[in-house]
Every structure is written in C-alpha cells, then in structure tokens.
Amino acid sequence: MASDYAFAYEQVAPFFAGNPASTAAWADAIARSQAYARQPAEVARMIAAQQERRGAPRAARDAAATLADPATRVIITGQQAGAFGGPLFTLLKALTTMKLAAKVARDHRVAVVPVFWIDGEDHDWPEVSGCTVLDADLAPRTVRLADLPGAGHRPIAGLTLTDEITAALDALAAALPDTEFKDDLLASLRQAYRPGAGMALAFGRWLEEVLGRYGLVVFDSADPAAKPLARDVFVAEISQPGNTARIAARAGEALVAKGYHAQAMLAGGTISLFHLNAERAPIRVDANQAFIGDRPVSLPDLVNEARTHPEHFSPNVLLRPLVQDAIFPTICYVAGPNELAYLGQLKEIYAHFGVPMPLMYQRGTATLVDSATLRFLTKYELPLTALRAQDEAALNQLLESQLPPTVEQSLTAVAAAIGERMIAVAAAVPQIDSTLEGAVKSTLGKLQHEVHALHNKVIQAAKRRDDTLRRQFQRAQALTFPQGHPQEREVGFVWFLNRYGPALVDRLLEELPLEMGHHWVLTI
C-alpha cells in the first residue's frame, strides 16, 4: 500500500481523507480541523505542565503555548518510548513532522505546531527495552534494560527506572565508540534516564534534549490530565460495543479485495479500549455482559466509569488516532510505511465518531552513510540493496567483475569448448559401442566440475589479492544492513548522535527530502 499511496493515490483514495500531494487537500484538512470543537486552552495548559516536569527547552515551550490559540493547527507523529530514544526511524519521523509543519505553515499561512505523541500506554516491554548500537568495529551491540517491576503487564509509562539503569548506561558507554561527542551525549542521557524516572518521562526528556530547541512539542499520552479531553470518544465507544471493530473489519475486507493487507482485525465483541488499573486489561462484551479481563462488570457501570473517570481508559490501535485528533487540531499524521495498512481502515470510524480525519504523510526513510561508504558504492556501481543479504553472493559478483577480462573470457571459452567437443564425442561413440554413452556424460560432468572448481579457485585468489575490496564491502554492509536489517530500524539514533554530534539534526533537517515513497541514501 505504501507505494500506491505515494505514486498511485487514486488506488487507495477511498480509504483516506485526501491526497497530501494536493494543495487543495491541505486546505480542506485545515478547514475540517477548524470546524471541530476542542479545548485549546486546556491542551496548552496540560502540555505546559508536562514540559515543566521534564524541563523542556524554551523553544518547545513557546511552540506549545501557541496551541492555546484556536487558529493553531498541528502536524503530529508518534512512537513508543524506546530505550535511549529508540531506532533511527523515530528520529526520522520527528524530523519529517518538523519539516512538514514548517512547509505547510509557509504554504497556507497558518500557525502549525509539530507534535510528537509518546505512546506510553503500550505494554510491549521487549520492544522498547533494548537499544542496538554499533561498536568500534561496526558490530551490533544491544544494550537491554533490566526488567522493571510490572514490565510486560503495566503500560510503559507506568514503569519506573531503578538503580539498574546505571548499569545499562555503563553498558551503552562501553559499546559506543569513543568520539569527541561521547562524554556530553552520555551526560545528557544520564540526566534523562535516571533512577526514579518513568520510562515515558525519560524518553520525553531525551527527545526534548535532542529536538526541543527546534520547537518540537512532546506529548505524553498517558497523562491522566489528557483523558477528560477524550471522554466523549470513550463513552461513545462503550455505549456501542463492538461497532468500531465491525467498521474496521468491513474496511479490512475492502482493502483485501483490492489486494492490500488488513492489519487490524479484532474479535467480535471487542471494545477498542483498555482498562487501566494495576495492569492494562482488554475490555469485551458478550451479549449484555461486559468484562474487564475476566472480571464481569455491567455495561451501564462501565459507561458511567468512562464518563466520571476517563483516566481509567486507554485507546487501542483503532481508537488511538481518534483520541489523538479529538485532543489536537490535527491536519496531518506522519506515519511509517507499515502504519498505512491500519490507518486505511479508519476512515468510516472517524465519520462514525464525528472526528475529522487528517491527511496521512509517509515519514522520510533513509540510510545514513559516511563518505567512504558512498565512494565505495559509487565506484563499483553497487546498489544499496545488494548489501542486505548476509552472504558473499554480492561480494563474489563484485570480485568477478574485477577480474581481468582475459581470465574470465578464457575460462568461459574453455567451458564452452569442452561442452562442444564432448557433444561431438557423445554423438560418435555410440557407433563404436553404445554402452560408452554413459561414460561420455560422466566424463563431461567431471570436466565441467573441474573447470568450475578452477573458476572458484581464481575467485578465492582474487579475494586474497583484493582484501581491501573485501573489507570495504563488509564495512559498508555492516553499516547499512546490520544483521541483515535496514539500518533505520535496527540502530538506535543515539549511535548517530555519538558519531556525528548535535550537528546531525541540522544536517538532516536540511537534507532529508519530504518526497514520499523514496528511500534516501544520505551522506553525513
């Protein structure tokens, strides 16, 4: 779907609110957002309180203050609170949001604030507890936080860092190569990730340390003060149990019928909310009986609880965007390529709740390389994708291409000559003795095997001779596809900050293109 969204939008148009490549679609999104009643003053006060707790930079506070103005619009993105900031794509998401907000503000002469939504109510601890960096030899090293009390059961925002965070930071320090930026980087991380801080709070502090001075507004969605702003969505969802899941299922079937993937498929009777108490528990309805986990509760009581204590509830994947856009005056959500699959199931859900659906924009996707890697790829005309397979097939092809033409031509000619002459022998020997035909085929096979073996020996000799080329290939492979995975999904952005320093953000803000549907190779 991501490719069609970028290059053949008409194929997916029925599932979304407008084509972000169209100027008119942006004007419509701004108008729709302005027509929906929200509580801008309360939103600004709530975020100011969060920023005060985190010690946010002045530029971020100034940007958040403009949200009190009903005319201000928002472009938003979000991600879970990954350890030490999470993978590179988290940074790319935020930077795309910041660049897009500035562009739309210029083009449409409207105040636009970039917001990063911390999905702190997810409880997938294994996904957020590790951070992978590359050591001095570009070998992947994963630093994993020790399990926190409640990990895997309680929302991430409800987990508090213990004294063991010091050992994780020490392990990160040992894994990161020594650079001129390392000491300052680690000092900032230790300020954010310290014993007694919540995981979401630490993540927010670190994100503001990196991007707050550029005016990025960080929002902790687990803040109980935010829940009254979504009260109407919670009450409506419980009052019509299972309706959201049914609407999403119909949209999923329509996506599948067009050859796409339906990502969000929920069981019948599922309410698209979790109940928050000691743990995050699913809510379902069977006939007229509601259940929080396995605990029965009457539906009217559940509706009343949502009305009087909205802080007890958290949206699931289908309702999270609705809650987000009921709180913020959103005109666009910056999504990862995989998110588009479930976002395409939400158009009628937005209509059902009466919340205006924003535009969707694909985040920038990129691989960051140094000049040495770029020179290597350019010199040998090697596509980036050739480095992904974790074997030596691409290296062997590259080495073969570097052989003197006479060697390769001679070996090819020998193989062809053997095949040609043995065919002639095979045609002649039956006239002498028909039983020799098998011996001819066997001999041909042996000769072809020997020529192939000789060819491999030549390649191995070339590998030994051209060890520099081999090292260059392996270095480029380790940097761009660590363990065979795309760099942006595998390597924490803390590694890039350690390598390139704070100027990395300025370079990416300048050089990361906004065009959707492309993967960029950027030299830093």
233-241 average pLDDT score: 94
Q: How many other β-carbons are positioned within 10 Å of the β-carbon of residue 268?
A: 11
407-424 average pLDDT score: 71
Tell whether the model's pLDDT for residue 114 goes beyond 70: yes
State the DSSP H helix or E strand holding residue 99, giving kind and residue range, or none if neither: helix 88-108
pLDDT the model gives residue 407: 62
pLDDT the model gives residue 425: 67
State the DSSP H helix or E strand holding residue 320, giving kind and residue range, or none if neither: helix 320-327
Tell whether the model's pLDDT for residue 176 goes beyond 70: yes
Q: Which two tokens stand for residue 71?
A: 């005319």
Residues in the chain, total: 524
Spatial distance between the Cα atoms of 115 and 217, rounded to a whole number of angstroms: 5
- 460-494 pLDDT, tens digit each: 776 676 788 888 999 999 999 999 999 999 999 99
Q: Which two tokens stand for residue 487?
A: 């760099």
Q: How far is CA 80 from CA 15, 77, 87, 129, 343, in A?
A: 25, 11, 11, 11, 17
* Highest mean pLDDT out of 143-152, 170-179, 419-428: 170-179
pLDDT level of residue 457 (50, 70, 90 thresholds): confident
State the DSSP H helix or E strand holding residue 374, giving kind and residue range, or none if neither: helix 371-379
Spatial distance between the Cα atoms of 94 and 505, rounded to a whole number of angstroms: 11
Q: Which two tokens stand for residue 102?
A: 């500035």
For residue 6, which of 366, 519, 522 has the smallest C-alpha distance? Answer: 519
Of 444 and 198, which is predicted with more confidence?
Answer: 198
Burial of 403 (0-12, 13-18, 19+ CB in 10 A): middle
Report helix, strand or coil for 452: helix
Q: Which residues in 441-477 are b (16+ Cβ under 10 Å) and which e? A: eeebeebeeebeeebeebbeebeeebeebbebbebbb
Low-confidence winner among 43-47, 50-54, 278-282, 482-486 (lowest mean pLDDT): 278-282
Q: Which fold has domain 2-124+201-231+311-367?
A: Rossmann fold (3.40.50)
- In DSSP terms, which residues pair with 282 in a beta bridge? 274
Q: Which residue has the tokens 């925002």?
A: 157
231-243 average pLDDT score: 93
Q: How many other β-carbons are positioned within 10 Å of the β-carbon of residue 310?
A: 20
Share of the chain above pLDDT 90, in %: 73
Q: How far is CA 25 from CA 7, 12, 353, in A?
A: 16, 15, 21
Of 383 and 428, which is predicted with more confidence?
Answer: 383
pLDDT the model gives residue 242: 87
Are β-strands 270-276 and 313-315 bridged in parallel, bridged antiparallel, or unpaired? antiparallel
pLDDT level of residue 173 (50, 70, 90 thresholds): very high
- 383-404 pLDDT, tens digit each: 999 999 888 788 888 877 776 7
pLDDT the model gives residue 219: 98
pLDDT the model gives residue 153: 87
pLDDT level of residue 30 (50, 70, 90 thresholds): very high
- In DSSP terms, which residues pair with 73 in a beta bridge? 112
- 252-263 pLDDT, tens digit each: 899 899 988 877
pLDDT the model gives residue 414: 75
CA atoms within 13 A on the CB side of 506: 5
First to last CA, the chain: 30
- 151-165 pLDDT, tens digit each: 988 999 999 999 999
Residues 6+ apart with CB under 8 A from 33: 73, 329, 330, 331, 356, 358
Q: Which residue has the tokens 């009260």?
A: 231
Q: Where in the chain is the domain with CATH 3.40.50?
A: 2-124+201-231+311-367
Tell whether the model's pLDDT for residue 405 goes beyond 90: no
Report helix, strand or coil for 131: strand
pLDDT the model gives residue 439: 73
Mean pLDDT of the chain: 91
> Mutual orientation of helices 493-500 and 88-108 as an angle, nearest 10°?
80
244-256 average pLDDT score: 90
Spatial distance between the Cα atoms of 239 and 218, rounded to a whole number of angstroms: 32
- 352-379 pLDDT, tens digit each: 999 999 999 999 999 999 999 999 999 9
Spatial distance between the Cα atoms of 99 and 334, rounded to a whole number of angstroms: 11
Q: Which two tokens stand for residue 341?
A: 């699959």
Report helix, strand or coil for 40: helix
